[in-house]
Amino acid sequence: HKLVREAAREWVKREVSPIIEDYAQRAEFPKQIIKGLADIGAFGPYIPEEYGGAGLDHISYGLIMQEIERGDSGVRSTASVQSSLVMYPIWKYGNEEQRMKYLPKLASGEFMGCFGLTEPNYGSDPGSMITNFKDMGNHYLLNGAKMWISNAPFADIAIV
């Protein structure tokens, strides 16, 4: 755990801290750090290695997120959304084909994901959501409105 924490801390000091204020002032996300986040295991650290994760425990995940948060809350949001709201549901509830197709690419940062929950009239209350989908045979029709979706501007896949 000490090694995990130190590796994340050093990466944040080297790659995030020197640039983040400039990006915050421009309201831009520094996409060039995505590969580094993947390299330190910030994307699905508890996902098994067979799916591209680091196979670490949840304490390691918490330590990595804590160190990223020390550098910038928005960068931590990107990593935690990728891990907990995108990768975890695919690992836990997806089928084997989905796990093999998406998780390695999400763990490496080749794919980025987002999670659509927050709605204009109901906030982040999943019990009140009105977004729905209809099976159209060869595709699904998704209807609804979402707000404040971390990673959405550059996401390759969305969990809704």
**Reported pTM:** 0.91
Please tell me the total count of domains within the chain.
1
Q: Is the CB of residue 81 less than 8 Å from the CB of residue 25?
A: no
pLDDT reading at 98 higher than 90: yes
Q: Given 3-state DSSP classes, what are the helix, strand and coil percentages for the chain, each rounded to the nearest 5?
A: 55, 10, 35
Structural domain for 115, as ranges: 2-159
Task: Compute the average pLDDT of residues 18-29.
Answer: 96
How confident is the model at residue 141, as a pLDDT?
96
pLDDT in tens, 103-114: 999 999 999 999
Domain with 148 in it: what CATH number?
1.10.540.10
Specify the DSSP class assigned to residue 16: I
How confident is the model at residue 26, as a pLDDT?
96
pLDDT in tens, 124-153: 888 898 999 999 999 999 999 998 898 999
123 token code pair: 């906030």
How confident is the model at residue 127, as a pLDDT?
87
